[in-house]
A and B are shown apart, each in its own frame.
Chain A
């Protein structure tokens, strides 16, 4: 009896399943985001304080959620690689890093655009902004470390170690940055006492959140497929070179 993850350990099975899933997931992402954008622009009322500009929230907040979720996925993949030696774990970690960095950048960029009219400045050294910026640096570190090591197996293991160190350090970094007083509003969706924002804004926000999640899954599947194909091409090229070399060596002997 194979477990769910064991069945995916075979890249060929993964390729088959992901090829069938991908169009549906991508279509679903487009549909949910389209519906979310409709709700965001036509149903949600403008903010009483910030006016129309507050609608940037419907991109900003889901991006920030995905920025964090993606790092968690990388850490889980790193654990899967180092502990269970799952063959697809490294493909998953490698494919997720640039996507996570992009979501983090999107969260910072939209937040900066929102900050100008709301706070009067593009950037403040507030606790949440700073910790997201440092999360962005951690993503850059993962990508840079991987790209500067030639041997791919070695690069994947070292990047996995760095990802695990990062996930241990992240709460401490977050806590240390929170030490300073904060200008950014505290989290108002994920609370034990229930959300503190009105449902006319909360519903589009959650729809966009689900849309971004499905979008992330679609992009991650596509990136993983690309990575597997890239590795196959490389293996074929290496086999070709090896064949050509053995041909050259044996040719003079004939």
Chain B
């Protein structure tokens, strides 16, 4: 287990010290959200109504941008081969990398969301609900995304392809993320969508590394 956490710590250190990647994702998030009022018109009532959905979708797109590098740099410089021959099963390697992606990218994006909410005139009372659902739902984003990253490792046009493969798989996360926010703000029961969102995230944490490791193993032979 210590090997697992060493790998997570290494990936986090790389993410921080290499820099750029997180800044790019956050910048992309900001720009996409800022473009929306320009495209939809500056009607504040409309913006505050669609704000949770806009913030969620922009978060998915920003996380997608950074998914490519989950395995890529390690595959190119050969460290993935070293990891594969090491004591850690490839499933746990994939899990560690997805976890590092969640901590280094998805969590900062979720924490930035309330700031962007100001741009969209989102009610202040919605902020805790927004951040809570994003923190619960984003493990699914990182771990399902890891499948896409592993599948497109050696593919041409990897960046666009990963979006085509992974975005349809994000539908449940998106639907229940939004449902949980509107339940928290409205009269509906909060528990069902929130519990289902948690279940999707936990399921992704199991399924993601299995499928990603299978894909990696195929490509490293």
Contact = CB atoms under 8 A, between A and B. Distances in A.
Interface of A: 82, 134, 137-138, 140-141, 144-145, 148-151, 154, 157-158, 161-162, 164-166, 168-169, 172-173, 175-177, 179-180
Contact of B164 (A140, A179, A180): A140
B211 to A, nearest CB: 5
Interface in B148-178: 151-152, 154-158, 161, 164-165, 167-169, 171-172, 175-176
Interface stretch (B21-29, B75-83, B213-221): B213-221
A168 B207 contact: yes
B169 A145 contact: no
Contacts of A82: 214
Given A145-B161, A173-B171, 6 more contacts: A134-B171, A140-B164, A145-B151, A154-B154, A162-B151, A176-B175
Given A148-B161, A165-B211, A177 B171 contact: yes
B175 A158 contact: no
A134 B165 CA distance: 11
A145 B211 CA distance: 15
Contacts, number: 76
14 contacts: A137-B164, A140-B164, A141-B164, A145-B151, A148-B157, A158-B151, A161-B147, A162-B147, A165-B169, A165-B211, A173-B172, A175-B172, A176-B196, A179-B179
B215 A161 contact: yes
Contact of B219 (A137, A150, A158): A158
A76 B7 CA distance: 36
A158 B176 CA distance: 29
B103 interface: no
Nearest to B176: A176
Contacts of A168: 207
B14 to A, nearest CB: 26
A172 B218 contact: no
A149 B157 CA distance: 10
Given A161-B211, A162-B165, A176 B155 contact: no
B200 interface: yes
B200 A145 contact: no
